[in-house]
Amino acid sequence: MRAGRIGAAALAFGAALAVDDDAPPPGMDVLPWVRAAAAALSPPPSPLPGRPWSDDLAALTAPDPTRAAGAIARLVRIGSAVIPDLAILADDRDWQLRARIVRVLAGIGGRAVVPLLLRLADDREPRVRHTALLALARAEGPEVYQRLVTALASADPDERALAAEALGGYGDPRAIPELARRHDDPDAPARAAQLRALQRLVRRERAVPVVEELLHSGSGEVRRVVLEALAGHNDTRLSPALGALLDSRDALEVLLAARALASAGDARAVAPLIQLAASDRLPQLCDAAASTLQRLTGYRAGPGKAWELWWRDQRERYQRLAARDALIAELTALDRPLPDLSAFTTEELAPLIDIAIEQRPAPPWLPARVLAALRREGERWIEPLVTRIDAEADSERRLELLLLLDEIGGPAAKPAFVRQFTLVDEREAAAHERWRQQRVVPPDLRPERALIRLALERR
């Protein structure tokens, strides 16, 4: 039950920041002329000189939560100029006012809010303190990270859980070992919050060196927690470290590493997985390796020597694909220059098209990097894209491929778009014929036609 309360508190905190301050309270806008007349008879007092947000400061203290919510949103829009006044109000005895101040500070974010948020994170009222801990995820500065890490060791299990949630949002990969070392937290909701935070952090672009170090030299328990958090990840930069763990003497580590390799789709993992699948280790480990191999290769063999026979025929091809996936891993690193793609054929690099149109699981920053790499080669990708477009039956997927062709094809793509304009008419005629004969509802091809027309106009 307490885990639900913590989650609900986090959701309510986020929703509170999104309140529409211009929406009137229910029932108050029925007779607008009455309100206008009342305002004419008794106009509201002017704000204090030099402090145009004084009415909103007053509204923070209002018992009506709707009025206070509107003030919070307006103060957030004003920004850091209101912080000195909020610091004065933060000494008020009303804990609800102090909690509202936290919401304003969270909405403003950045460095300027840090001193007051840290002060409220030590508030005597737990509800204010907990809200402030969550709000620190929106702040910036070294003091923020240190305060959240300190809260992980709090005697209050709710505070430990909320600190973990905030660290997940704050995004500093230094928190990964701090969270992983607390795998034995006696409080189940706190442990669950720590795992959720780990799952967010290990997927950050800057997390790879920290995760690699923990997989290489972390203690057994820490390594297992990190492996558990990596389930479902798709950053291929971690594949070599995970592949190395397939030789571990710890059966659970091997099992978790084999499962973690299934989602990244990296051909570099095939060779060590085959060695495990064909070995005489525990059946569960060989089964896990074979299951991952099936996902990576499409070959449906179970565990055993069949994989060694398959590897004899496929070794050369998969060594080539492994080199390609090393290039994709290099593309994934934001601190590396864009690699040269010319050493591989467009057929070998076909996964880049799926990444660019976000049809293959990949880290969220990778499609933009792939698009930049494809754009540098431009004309080389016209024919492969046209081939994919011609073979694609789904109109929405075709639209995505046309957008990519428009983005990277340049002037040389004009003949391809002229041809596609004709094909749209043919597809539309065929779709209407299917409707006439089979009553299959035809797709709406107007967006496709409009995009092709715009692409031709630009050329």
SS3 362: coil
- pLDDT score recorded for residue 44: 46
- pLDDT score recorded for residue 440: 87
Residue 42 pLDDT greater than 50, yes or no: no
Contact present, 420 and 384 (Cβ < 8 Å): no
Kindly state the average pLDDT of the residues 179-185: 92
The two tokens of residue 310 are: 């398959």
Distance between CA 300 and CA 295 in Å, rounded?
Answer: 9
N-term to C-term CA, the chain: 61
In a domain, 28, yes or no: no
Residue 175 pLDDT greater than 80, yes or no: yes
Distance between CA 317 and CA 20 in Å, rounded?
Answer: 57
Residue 71 pLDDT greater than 60, yes or no: yes
In a domain, 172, yes or no: no
Which residues neighbour 313 within 8 Å (Cβ) at sequence distance 6 or greater?
Answer: none
Distance between CA 247 and CA 273 in Å, rounded?
Answer: 10
Q: Are residues 354 and 454 in the same domain?
A: yes
The two tokens of residue 341 are: 């793609």
Closest CA to 3 of 202, 144, 196: 196
pLDDT tens digits, one per residue of 396-432: 999 999 999 999 999 999 999 999 999 998 998 888 8
Residue 24 pLDDT greater than 90, yes or no: no
Residue 15 pLDDT greater than 60, yes or no: no
Confidence band for 49, pLDDT divided at 50, 70 and 90? low
Q: Are residues 307 and 265 in the same domain?
A: yes
Distance between CA 249 and CA 315 in Å, rounded?
Answer: 26
Query: Chain-centre distance of CA 39, in angstroms?
Result: 48
In a domain, 98, yes or no: no
Q: Are residues 381 and 298 in the same domain?
A: no
| Domain around 421 | 350-458
Domain final position from 270, 301, 316:
316
- pLDDT score recorded for residue 3: 53
Query: Chain-centre distance of CA 393, in angstroms?
Result: 30
- pLDDT score recorded for residue 6: 57
Domain final position from 293, 316, 339:
316
Domain final position from 316, 342, 360:
316
The two tokens of residue 257 are: 């590493």
Which residues neighbour 20 within 8 Å (Cβ) at sequence distance 6 or greater?
Answer: 73
In a domain, 6, yes or no: no
For the chain, what is the mean pLDDT? 90
Q: Are residues 369 and 452 in the same domain?
A: yes
In a domain, 53, yes or no: no
Q: Are residues 297 and 357 in the same domain?
A: no
In a domain, 443, yes or no: yes
Kindly state the average pLDDT of the residues 81-94: 96
Distance between CA 242 and CA 422 in Å, rounded?
Answer: 49
Residue 27 pLDDT greater than 50, yes or no: no
- pLDDT score recorded for residue 14: 54
Task: Read off the pTM.
Answer: 0.82
The domain tally of the chain equals 2
Residue 4 pLDDT greater than 90, yes or no: no
